[in-house]
Structure 1
Amino acid sequence: AMDSGRVEVDAETLALFGIRPADFDGRVETLLALTVPEDLPTLMSVVEPDHLSIGDRELDFRIRRPSGEPRWLRLRGRLLPGGDGHPARLVGTVSDASELRSGVNDVARVQRLAAALSTAGTVRDVSHAVVAALRKPLQADRIALAELEGERLVVTVLDPPEPDAWPELWRAEWRSEWPDAPVRTMPTLAAALREGRAAIWPSGTTLEPALADVGPGGLAVLPLPAGGRMAGACLIGWDDPHHFGPDERALLTAAAGLAGQALTRAHALDAEHELVGMLQRTLLPRRLPRLPGAVAVARYLPTTSGLEVGGDWYDVIPLPDNHVALVIGDVQGHNAGAATLMGQMRTALRAYAVEGHPPDVVVSLANRLLADMETDLFATCCYVDIDMEEGSAWYVRAGHLPPVLRHSDGSTEVVDAEGGPPLGVVRQADFPMSPLGLRPGTVVALTTDGLVESADLDIEDGLDRLAAGLAGSDPAHLGLTADALLADANRSDDVALLLTRYDGMALRPLRESWTVWRVPEAVRHARRFTRRVLRAWDVEEEADAALLVVSEMVTNALVHTDGRVRLDLTLVGRRLRIAVADNSPRTPIKPTSIGWEATGGRGILLVEAMSAVWGTVPVSGGKQVWCELPLSDTGGHRAADAAP
């Protein structure tokens, strides 16, 4: 009845809809609620025919019964007029059309699979989409999906995932390669891949052992074609005897074509993701160094949006005299150019730091370098120089977030001090240094804006949240602290985090320095200074070796360089470090051979022979040649009593 929506239906029609007569309320809406959404508009145009003429109607539509079973139905009817000439009643029959149409939900399954594959970004996403679209609708007991790499099939997903659900032969290569992986060892599978068509074997078919137990009641092998090649294969197996109808075969063929194309796209995307990740990992430190009197951990989270590679970086740089530089920075943009520039800036800052410049000079030199480069990008960074012996630190900000401190008593502090502009914006810029007071147990946190800023969070609130997270953390476990702080990170941007806990040095080195004047008695004065220092440090047995090394190193500096020469002696533990700095950047070269008549060239060979290790480092436009002499355990030196 068109006016009330009431409908009179016999028991046979209700059975088609899967409704018992006792449960039917007589409303047409109850029947319409079972209609597949895609077919509902057409069906509504029949039952609400405001603009339709009187006459016969015929329509096929799909329903999903309360049990979940899909079905095609065919409606044949006639619209009968009322007293005013408008349609008043729809009278007709409903019959089962499943035998006359393709599988009731095959089209919908393919549509849903196509939609799922269009958003699948990785090979694993594609595999799970195929499993979701096929296994339950086909009532299969197991599905395996694999990529074809050369002549080997590499498994991407097994469903169900439990090893016990699969033949024993599969378990040796569980979730890696196909059992007896070379395809040529499985003729049935090789033939299906060669022909490129879905192959179906009913119950009782003789197959090779690697395939037989996958589907004892029936097995379907779907080659996954893509662009003239085979991207992989999909196996679908049933335990109980399974009947393969023509509609099911058509569904499998359509699904295989969609999955093959998606698998190829996802494989290329995975390769690009791996390339981006490899680039990022290459530009960041592989591991952090061991620090005297401190522990540092770092975390980096790349953005999850697309294939973007970011410019966030961090670094920990050991410096002479037990200083350590902590660096964190961010280059504008998310692309290969930003990542490349990030690598250049990290290298430049490390080089300037190792040369021995103070923090403000290091950052100023990096700023000039970036300003002189032909790039439109800029960078921000925060540079912290910590004296591990004294527990003091100086830091410089170049448009970057300030450090956040967690003190030993659990209180936190967002350090607020003046900073300079981002690197590369103004060639001549000031980068003021600000002090940091550290006590044993203090944690220094450096991060990028991806951790403390998002569309819903401004930087100030984000820094406060970071400080609160540090306050509630256990500084004894920096790795767990870093992971907890990153738990709610904004994944639409890169995030770098560097945590350093200052513990203080258990053994503070003893240091003495001497400026070597260029006078005829210069070497004798240097030896006299060294003897006096070693006597004060109670170093007796190795004194002669140390005096010989000092003589050779000071002589080389005076003969081969100009300008100031400085001698530094350091005693820590059972090692004596002797270092001579001069104004020449040229590294001393060890001769490969020396004739008996030669009058020089033996200095470096003597230093190498007398010391455990030696080397040279650039220092402020010059260099420092150094060596270390191991001291005997019986020596009465005082370094062990020099704890802070």
Structure 2
Amino acid sequence: MADVVSEGAAEPGTRTLRAELALKTLGGDLDPYERLHAILEQVLVFTSATVAAVYLPDGEGQALSLTASAGVPRNLYGLSDSYPAAGTAPVAETCRSGRPSWLVSTDLHEDADAHPVAADHPGADAHPGADAHPVAADHPVGDVQEGAGPPEDADIRRVRAESFSLGVLPLRERGCLVAVGDGTDAFDAEDRHCLDLLAEAAAGAAPAPPAGFGASFDLAMDSGRVEVDDALLELFGIGQDDFDGRVETLIALTVPEDLPALMSVVEADHMSIGDRELEFRILQPSGEQRWLRLRGRILPGGENRPARLVGTVADASTLRTGRGDVARIQRLAAALATAGTVRDVSQAVVTALRKPLRADRIALAELEGDRLVVTVLDPPQPEVWPEVWRSEWRSEWPDAPVRTMPTLATALREGRAGIWPAGAHLEPALADVGPGGLAVLPLPAGGRMAGACLIGWDSPHDFGPEERALLTAASGLAGQALMRAHAFDAEHELVGMLQRTLLPRRLPQLPGAVAVARYLPTTAGLEVGGDWYDVIPLPDNHVALVIGDVQGHNAGAATLMGQMRTALRAYAVEGHPPDVVVSHANRLLMDMETDLFATCCYVDIDMEEGSAWYVRAGHIPPVLRHPNGSTEISESEGGPPLGVVMQADFPMSPLRLTPGTVLALTTDGLVESADIDVEDGLDQLAAELSAADPAHLGVVADTLLGGANRDDDVALLLIRYDGMALRPQRENWSVWRVPQAVGQARRYTRRVLRRWGADSVSDSVLLVVSELVTNALVHTDGRVRLDLTLLADRLRVSVADSSPRTPVKPTVIGWEATGGRGILLVEAMSSAWGTVPVSGGKQVWAEIPIE
């Protein structure tokens, strides 16, 4: 409930005298906005106010707009950015009457269903328990519609104070000073006397309307039309007769390096209500550069009234030193001059910007077509980055298409830096980089965009003019350095292109396991290697892991590597056991008439049972890290490298995986060099794996690669076996070729369904079993096997036979046809069906949902 508090008066007290003294010490060189902010800060110091704000009429006199504020966030008390001048809000009534108002609001609750209760003022008839509305809402309290809110501030937060006091003091009929304090007795007699004094000072400091103040402007954000005075035209060196009223005419004089920062202020697409300030350079008619300082504020639009940017421009040439920024730019330029690789360039930018800007994270990415390839993330921990930017870029080259981030795409297309304050509405991939503020710097070079740099802050961050200039200069230097690094480091570009083409872009999601991979090319000369890895999902919750190395470092080795990876994947998908897969690959390589050979290690893991079989073809053995931290280098007999002996044996060896076990496969570049033999290198790898935390597998991989030998390629594949949370139930039946075979298969299926408690789908399942088993017996020779698998919500029927021919669904069946309806029945009774190759034959499967 709100009560009117009568005005009081008091003789000047100690605080008032101190406020008078503080006003006298304000420097005479402050511009109107700086002086007004200083006075509002004195309101907070010398009175009980927690929020102080000044509202001034706009150019047309139709609205009172927030010009400056200080203290805690004003929306905690429901203060809006703008109020209609003819409205009933206390702000408007005080400006019209010229008399101060002292108001009190009580009984406010944080979890009210509506907006905060309006502070009462003379003539308002507040009702206890009324729905809450803004403290200065533009309507009487007693005439509020349920669910309504002020049109000028539709996103007001809920009030946090239980009660508060409100003081509204006129500023010589040009606006008003608003002070808010916690509690119903926040402003005593001396507070009010002190506020009268500070309001008088604020009236003298408040910026005059644009038409009456030197070097001022009033920009309509929708049309770009700008009203300026003679002083501003003189600063820009433009005569009255030569100015056409377009903001583009003024912007055209800006130094190109400062244009992105200036456009971020005057572009309507990125605006939010609030103060704006920056420094920029213009080119004078003499060809010399001149520093200008822009101070302004965005005023909200309304009905038939566009949003506007109003403010002043001053000569900043004598005020600006920028020595620290110049030194930083010089250090960055020196570091970039010696940066040989793209990663060196990225690290130099991080070193030059992150600490000076006190940023929480920086990402640099190269632009390749419509895709961003991340070159550095700082800090490197995955959990501090959104999914698309995480540190696994080094192996999986995450696909970050620019089209998925429209804000970034616009910045790259237009070549302008983008700066967004806290709370800006951005796509998640960008908003999570800088929740307290985000800067997106396009990196231009040679007439095109070389990439982008993202700088993010967690806490609300103010972008000062010196900081904007530093970002602009750094983006130009980094873009040019990236282009030089491409030319200087052509061999790494070639390696990256080949690896992105021949290696998996992403690893698949595995049932009951997590896998990560890394590949590091050699840094020695113009050489391309033949190391590769692969992760292959197989039927029945099996997964195949492959890692290999083709002899040599050249394009031929890389090409052969791609062929071997494709061949091994094809043989694995056909359903062969590990020894047969590797034997087939060996014969293929022997038939290719190449002088090169390859080593590989192939592992087939049963994710349901936690068991595995592996084969080594001249390759180093796997390394296991058990859940207790102990490690084991698997010792087993292996076969010769692929492509050496036509009739070679590749014996299989078992592995046992318990939940929490990490399996590491790598190439010799990680464990062997001129200074260390392979046995010692494996021991060192096992020790580092034992000390690592398997919960963050990507970090483990990065740690293991920290001391890698860069004279050779390195491939690393890690998998952590977690075990399947839900294991399917399986049963199988060998179908004998006897007249009663189909009936036997049906009776067996019925018994299994009864045991599993799946009688509800028995009719559909039995019909599918009859059709699949009949087709296998009639159209194939050899062994036939029926497999039944119960998953969480479906039952899978599979029939395997020795024929590789896939059944074909007929398109048309005439009335006289005696066959061809079986597959149509299977399709009708199941949610999905298909075939997969199995050891020279095939398996036809169908899935029936369980309700």
TM-score, normalising length: structure 2: 0.45
The 3-state SS of whatever aligns with 1:330 is strand
In terms of Rg, which structure is larger?
Answer: 1
Q: Counterparts of 2:743 and 2:496 in 1: how far apart (Å)?
A: 58
Report the counterpart of residue 501 of structure 1 in structure 2: 720
Report the counterpart of residue 346 of structure 1 in structure 2: 565
Q: Trace 1:370-409 onto structure 2 (pairs within 5 A).
A: 370-409=589-628
Q: Counterparts of 1:367 and 1:182 in 2: how far apart (Å)?
A: 47
The 3-state SS of whatever aligns with 1:542 is helix
Counterpart check, 1:570 vs 2:570: no
Structure possessing the higher relative contact order (Cα contacts under 8 Å, 6 or more residues apart): 1
Q: Counterparts of 1:123 and 1:299 in 2: how far apart (Å)?
A: 16
Once the two structures are superposed, what CA deviation does each residue of 1:525-556 show, in whole Å capped at 9, x if it has no partner?
21111111111111111111111111111122
> AA paired with 2:648?
A
Q: In 2 relative to 1, CA 170–523 (structure 1 residues): closer, same or farther, beyond 3 Å?
A: closer
Counterpart check, 1:176 vs 2:442: yes
> How far off its partner does 1:170 sit?
5.9
Q: Trace 1:384-463 onto structure 2 (pairs within 5 A).
A: 384-463=603-682
> AA paired with 1:466?
L
> How far off its partner does 1:442 sit?
1.2
Aligned pair partner of 2:550 in 313, 320, 331 = 331
The 3-state SS of whatever aligns with 2:733 is strand
Once the two structures are superposed, what CA deviation does each residue of 1:343-365 show, in whole Å capped at 9, x if it has no partner?
11112112222222221222112
> How far off its partner does 1:584 sit?
0.9
Q: Trace 1:314-329 onto structure 2 (pairs within 5 A).
A: 314-329=533-548
> AA paired with 2:587?
R
> How far off its partner does 1:464 sit?
0.9
> How far off its partner does 1:120 sit?
5.4
CA contact (8 A) 1:352 1:365 kept: yes
Q: Counterparts of 2:823 and 2:447 in 1: how far apart (Å)?
A: 59
Report the counterpart of residue 587 of structure 2 in structure 1: 368
> How far off its partner does 1:322 sit?
2.1
Q: Counterparts of 1:608 and 1:375 in 2: how far apart (Å)?
A: 47
- Aligned positions, number: 413
Q: In 2 relative to 1, CA 546–396 (structure 1 residues): closer, same or farther, beyond 3 Å?
A: same
Aligned pair partner of 2:771 in 552, 558, 564 = 552
Once the two structures are superposed, what CA deviation does each residue of 1:459-482 show, in whole Å capped at 9, x if it has no partner?
111111111111111112211111
> How far off its partner does 1:407 sit?
0.8
CA contact (8 A) 1:296 1:499 kept: yes
Report the counterpart of residue 591 of structure 1 in structure 2: 810
> AA paired with 1:610?
M
The 3-state SS of whatever aligns with 1:321 is coil
Q: Trace 1:32-111 onto structure 2 (pairs within 5 A).
A: none
> AA paired with 2:788?
L
Report the counterpart of residue 479 of structure 1 in structure 2: 698
Report the counterpart of residue 684 of structure 2 in structure 1: 465
CA contact (8 A) 1:332 1:377 kept: yes
The 3-state SS of whatever aligns with 1:496 is strand
Q: In 2 relative to 1, CA 270–587 (structure 1 residues): closer, same or farther, beyond 3 Å?
A: farther
Q: Counterparts of 1:332 and 1:279 in 2: how far apart (Å)?
A: 16
Q: Counterparts of 2:729 and 2:484 in 1: how far apart (Å)?
A: 63
> How far off its partner does 1:519 sit?
2.3
Determine what percentage of the aligned residue pairs are the same residue.
77
> How far off its partner does 1:266 sit?
6.2
Return 5+ residue gaps in structure 1 as ranges: 1-112, 129-148, 150-168, 184-212, 215-233, 236-259, 633-644
CA contact (8 A) 2:340 2:488 kept: no
Report the counterpart of residue 357 of structure 2 in structure 1: none
CA contact (8 A) 2:574 2:836 kept: yes
Q: Counterparts of 2:824 and 2:526 in 1: how far apart (Å)?
A: 53
Q: Counterparts of 1:380 and 1:402 in 2: how far apart (Å)?
A: 11
Q: Counterparts of 1:276 and 1:349 in 2: how far apart (Å)?
A: 22
CA contact (8 A) 2:491 2:525 kept: no
Q: In 2 relative to 1, CA 436–123 (structure 1 residues): closer, same or farther, beyond 3 Å?
A: closer
Counterpart check, 1:491 vs 2:710: yes
Report the counterpart of residue 542 of structure 1 in structure 2: 761
Once the two structures are superposed, what CA deviation does each residue of 1:117-175 show, in whole Å capped at 9, x if it has no partner?
9995779979x9xxxxxxxxxxxxxxxxxxxx9xxxxxxxxxxxxxxxxxxx9645975
Q: In 2 relative to 1, CA 483–117 (structure 1 residues): closer, same or farther, beyond 3 Å?
A: closer
Q: In 2 relative to 1, CA 489–180 (structure 1 residues): closer, same or farther, beyond 3 Å?
A: closer
Once the two structures are superposed, what CA deviation does each residue of 1:208-249 show, in whole Å capped at 9, x if it has no partner?
xxxxx99xxxxxxxxxxxxxxxxxxx99xxxxxxxxxxxxxx
> How far off its partner does 1:589 sit?
1.6
Report the counterpart of residue 517 of structure 2 in structure 1: 298
Report the counterpart of residue 210 of structure 1 in structure 2: none
CA contact (8 A) 1:298 1:482 kept: yes
CA contact (8 A) 2:345 2:482 kept: no
Once the two structures are superposed, what CA deviation does each residue of 1:402-427 show, in whole Å capped at 9, x if it has no partner?
11111111111111111111111111
Report the counterpart of residue 284 of structure 1 in structure 2: 503
Q: Counterparts of 1:516 and 1:326 in 2: how far apart (Å)?
A: 33
> AA paired with 1:559?
V
Counterpart check, 1:581 vs 2:793: no
Report the counterpart of residue 614 of structure 1 in structure 2: 833
C-alpha RMSD of matched pairs (Å)? 3.7
Q: Counterparts of 1:548 and 1:263 in 2: how far apart (Å)?
A: 65
Q: Counterparts of 1:382 and 1:533 in 2: how far apart (Å)?
A: 39
Report the counterpart of residue 75 of structure 2 in structure 1: none
Q: Counterparts of 1:182 and 1:468 in 2: how far apart (Å)?
A: 47
Q: In 2 relative to 1, CA 564–331 (structure 1 residues): closer, same or farther, beyond 3 Å?
A: same
Q: Counterparts of 1:479 and 1:118 in 2: how far apart (Å)?
A: 30
Q: In 2 relative to 1, CA 538–491 (structure 1 residues): closer, same or farther, beyond 3 Å?
A: same
Q: In 2 relative to 1, CA 594–182 (structure 1 residues): closer, same or farther, beyond 3 Å?
A: same
Q: Counterparts of 1:311 and 1:509 in 2: how far apart (Å)?
A: 39
> AA paired with 1:550?
V
CA contact (8 A) 2:624 2:662 kept: yes
The 3-state SS of whatever aligns with 2:717 is strand
TM-score, normalising length: structure 1: 0.58
Q: Counterparts of 1:181 and 1:379 in 2: how far apart (Å)?
A: 44
> AA paired with 1:476?
A
> AA paired with 1:403?
P
CA contact (8 A) 1:561 1:582 kept: yes
> How far off its partner does 1:180 sit?
14
Q: In 2 relative to 1, CA 277–523 (structure 1 residues): closer, same or farther, beyond 3 Å?
A: same
Q: Counterparts of 2:416 and 2:637 in 1: how far apart (Å)?
A: 64
Q: In 2 relative to 1, CA 509–180 (structure 1 residues): closer, same or farther, beyond 3 Å?
A: closer
Q: Counterparts of 2:541 and 2:496 in 1: how far apart (Å)?
A: 33
CA contact (8 A) 1:314 1:496 kept: yes
Q: Counterparts of 1:610 and 1:575 in 2: how far apart (Å)?
A: 13
The 3-state SS of whatever aligns with 2:808 is coil
Once the two structures are superposed, what CA deviation does each residue of 1:308-354 show, in whole Å capped at 9, x if it has no partner?
22111111122222222111111111112111111111121122222
Q: Counterparts of 1:410 and 1:580 in 2: how far apart (Å)?
A: 43
Once the two structures are superposed, what CA deviation does each residue of 1:383-441 show, in whole Å capped at 9, x if it has no partner?
11222222222211111111111111111111111111111111111111112122221
> AA paired with 2:606?
D
> How far off its partner does 1:268 sit?
5.2
The 3-state SS of whatever aligns with 1:585 is coil
Once the two structures are superposed, what CA deviation does each residue of 1:86-115 show, in whole Å capped at 9, x if it has no partner?
xxxxxxxxxxxxxxxxxxxxxxxxxxx9xx
